[in-house]
Amino acid sequence: MASESGKNRGFDRGKGHDAQAFHVIDYLRISITDRCNFRCAYCMPRAGVGYRPHDEILSYEEIIRFTRATARLGITRVRITGGEPLVRRQCPELVAKLAAIPGIEDLSLTTNGALLTEHAEALRDAGLSRLNISIDSLNPDRFSRITRGATLAPVLAGLEMALELGFAPVKVNAVMIPGIEDELEQFVALARENPVHVRFIEFMPIGCHQEDVRNFISRQRILEGLSRFGDLMPVDSPVGGGPARYFRFDGARGTIGFISSMSDHFCENCNRLRLTADGKLRNCLFSDDEVDIRPYINGDSMELAKVIIDSMNSKKFDRTGEKPLARTMSQIGG
C-alpha cells in the first residue's frame, strides 16, 4: 500500500497504466446534501428528484473522518458542493472542522448564492478560502425561467457580500444554454467592473438530460460572440487552478473563463475524486462506477485508506466507453 505520507505524487497506478504512472490526484469534491432550493432546468427534471432519507446522508463526523483519510493520501484541496450546500444546517461548523485538518491547503464552496447573505460571514470566519456562485443569467426573468421560480436579487446580494467580505477569488459560473448569447454584454460588464472571474461552462448532458444535445453551445461560439467587446488576452488561472482557461479584456478587474468539458474535454489532466452525499466515492463524473465508502469510514482506518487508494489507482483518464448515467448532476454533486 502507498504510505500515508501526505502526497500521492509518483502514485503507483498499477499495471496497464504506464502513461499515467505519475498522475497527481489532490482534489476532493464533497457533496454534503442532495437537496436544493432551486430546480434548474438543465440540472434536474421538472418533477424534481427523489431525495435520500436523512439517515442515508453522511453525517458531518463521517465527512470529516473521510477527509482526514484522504488528506493523509495527498488530497490538499477540498470543495463543498450539493445540491445546494447552504440548505444543510451548520455548514459553517463543518467548514471550520475541514479547515483544521492537517494537509488541507485550500477549502472552497460552490453555491447558488440564494442563502449567501445569511451565511457568508460565518463561512469566512470558519476558514473558507474561496466561493463559486452559480448565476446562469443576469436577467431576472430569464433567471426565473432557468431556475423554475427563483429570484435573482438575493443571489446578486450574496455576490456583493462575498466581494465585500474579501473572498478571493470569487468565481461566477454560467452554464452555456440557449439564451446566454443575448447576455454576453452583461457578463462582460460584471467582469470588467468587479474582481470577479466569470466562467462559461459547456452544458454537460448528465442524468435526465443526456439526450438533450440540442442545448449544446461550444466555447468557440461564445468566444466569437465576445469578440465584439474587444480583444481577449489569455491569462494565468486564478487561485484554484482547475480545468478552466482564462482571458482578460484590457483594463478589466476580473476575467472571463471557459470550462470546455464537451468540446475539449480535459480528462487526461483530471486530478479529482468525488464523494456523494450518500457516501459513494466516484473517480469520474462521467461514469457510474462508484464505491459505497460508508462502511469503511466507520470501520478500520487501514481498510478505508486501501479503498481510497484503489479508487485513485482505477481512475480513468479518458471517456471511451462512456454510457448514460443513472444519476443527475444534483445527485452527484457536480
pLDDT band of 211, cuts 50, 70, 90? very low
Give pLDDT tens digits for 120-129: 999 999 999 8
pLDDT band of 200, cuts 50, 70, 90? very high
CA atoms within 13 A on the CB side of 192: 14
Structural domains of the chain, with CATH: 18-332 (3.20.20.70)
Average pLDDT, the chain: 85
Q: Position 118: which residue type?
A: E
pTM of this structure: 0.87
What is the structure's pLDDT at 273? 94
Give pLDDT tens digits for 15-69: 333 434 457 899 999 999 999 999 988 887 777 677 788 899 999 999 999 999 9
Give pLDDT tens digits for 66-95: 999 999 999 999 999 999 999 999 999 999
